[in-house]
Chain A
């Protein structure tokens, strides 16, 4: 087996008196779709927030593609090719698709001291292309994200991550509050990632969704990993027992 794309070693995190992560060790293999499951407060969000740069671990090590790394903010994570898609938090509803696509990574025609003139034509063109690439069909990149359905929003977020060539895509509860049809679409997106060689970490507390698109299941409870098996070697029953 090739080298894991992300290795997490003995990760600890305390939140004012709460020991949220108790020495989590986990290898994520290149190209796999890993399902991370657990009840509320199991520590999965904490782990994800550390990998995406929103929080820092108190102890432990993160190794990306063989290199020990320090992820101090979301920009660091993105630079390493780790992109996180949150259920609510990844898009600004009152902004257009094209604007959302490039938040924080806007293409500029020229810039002075970090303030640059937006290349709006490029933003529109590339967002149309990126959206089409994930098989989502939207009429205009000028539509407000707030007008899209939940599934379409996830699609745009995934398109954004694909556009910026992320190597690892973390999807935090992407199917929450979605209709059955929309959920199927998001699961389709995740399955599509594997064909493109993108590693996916899919977080959900809906085991059916996880089993539908992941080839490895990692379960967490009370800040620890309690189960780590191939999806075809375990079952929904076994996983739910552990949670």
Chain B
């Protein structure tokens, strides 16, 4: 029993999960039951997949020991590329493939430069953040492309899938992708390499793991998920703007960290990233419902990030201090 408690306390996503539960209860009471109503949940579920998909990719990358500040810009560049091509007469699927291809290339470049020149990914992706944002504006030509409703199959990505108009297709996309990435990290040999690479690089190298390649793949996954999430948001709003996703990079990092991912790499889980992203969305929404000045949103996210990390460290220390001998 003690052993189980100890293991639970050391789960990195515990603090986030507890906070999530607390906030749901608090907001539900403060909003007189509006918070968990269908109308409100519809709003939350519409936005959640977008933040959460970015967070999932960033979480995976952070576990491998790297960092991606360019996701917010990729979030805008992918749908912009796609929209410009569609307006230029390309078929939707080809345009989407090119858009995702751009994301893959950006992730690859982020990874290769970081690994080859042995520089912090913070710097590589900071540079890429500016470059990709600039490219977005250049590609748009200064005027947001206008896509007529029905010109692209948005329904497949953001259409409501139930009669009650509660759940959008994007929720399913997000769940499917999050489960796949979660299984990739937790249940495959590749996941074992990711964790070893981020957990202790010299050991991973000594055991013959191609750590450079592992990281590059994580960079690419992070980029593609950010681009895909950006596409979903642009489709939901049916507007393709060069300014989409500004600040998304830091929200994604905050989500990962709130969910227990360590900046040092190795520690963290996809579920944690999802919990972190959900918390951010709930706070945004709950604050509005509780009639708190919306300008406090970023303050709340910041405080939450610090609080979650401190809480996590504290819980983990408690867990570690529990005397359960490993000897027989």
Contact = CB atoms under 8 A, between A and B. Distances in A.
Interface of A: 52-54, 73-75, 78, 84, 86, 88-95, 99, 102-106, 108, 111, 115-118, 120, 137-140, 142-143, 147-148, 152
Interface of B: 7, 184, 187-193, 195-196, 199-200, 202-209, 266-267, 320, 325-328
Contacts of B193: 103-104
28 contacts: A73-B208, A74-B208, A86-B203, A92-B196, A92-B203, A93-B199, A94-B200, A95-B196, A95-B266, A103-B192, A103-B204, A104-B193, A106-B192, A108-B188, A108-B189, A115-B184, A116-B189, A117-B187, A117-B188, A118-B189, A118-B191, A118-B192, A137-B328, A138-B327, A139-B327, A139-B328, A147-B326, A148-B326
A1 B320 CA distance: 53
A114 B3 CA distance: 35
Nearest to A74: B208
Contacts of A90: 203, 206-207
Contact of A91 (B190, B203, B326): B203
A116 B202 CA distance: 23
B192 A139 contact: no
A108 B190 CA distance: 11
A52 B208 CA distance: 10
Contacts of A147: 320, 326
B199 A95 contact: yes
A148 B324 CA distance: 12
A92 B204 contact: yes
Given A102-B192, A103-B196, A53 B208 contact: yes
A50 B193 CA distance: 23
Nearest to B325: A139
Contacts of A74: 205-208
B208 to A, nearest CB: 4
A233 B188 CA distance: 52
A118 B195 contact: no
Given A102-B192, A115-B190, A147-B326, A75 B208 contact: yes
Nearest to A116: B189
Nearest to B266: A94
Contacts of B203: 86, 88-92, 103
Contacts of B192: 95, 99, 102-103, 106, 118
Contact of A52 (B195, B200, B204, B206): B206
A118 B207 contact: no
A116 B191 CA distance: 10
Give the interface centre of B188, B206, B326, B327 by most chain A CB atoms within 10 Å: B206
Given A92-B199, A94-B195, 13 more contacts: A54-B206, A78-B208, A86-B203, A88-B203, A91-B200, A94-B267, A95-B195, A103-B196, A108-B188, A117-B188, A120-B187, A138-B328, A143-B326
Contacts of A111: 189
B266 A137 contact: no
Given A78-B208, A104-B209, A89 B328 contact: no
B326 A138 contact: yes
Contacts of B196: 92, 95, 99, 103-104
A99 B189 contact: no
A52 B193 CA distance: 19
Contacts of A104: 193, 196, 204, 207-209
A84 B205 CA distance: 12
Contact of A84 (B7, B206, B209, B327): B206
A176 to B, nearest CB: 15
Nearest to A115: B190
B326 A92 contact: no
A115 B203 CA distance: 20
Nearest to A138: B326
B189 A115 contact: yes
B202 A89 contact: yes
A84 B326 CA distance: 25
A242 to B, nearest CB: 30
A45 to B, nearest CB: 13
Contact of B266 (A89, A92, A118, A140): A92
Nearest to A148: B326
A115 B188 contact: yes
A180 B207 CA distance: 28
A105 B206 CA distance: 12
Nearest to A143: B326
A93 B206 contact: no
B123 to A, nearest CB: 25
Contacts of A138: 326-328
Contacts of B326: 138-140, 143, 147-148, 152
Contacts of B189: 106, 108, 111, 115-116, 118
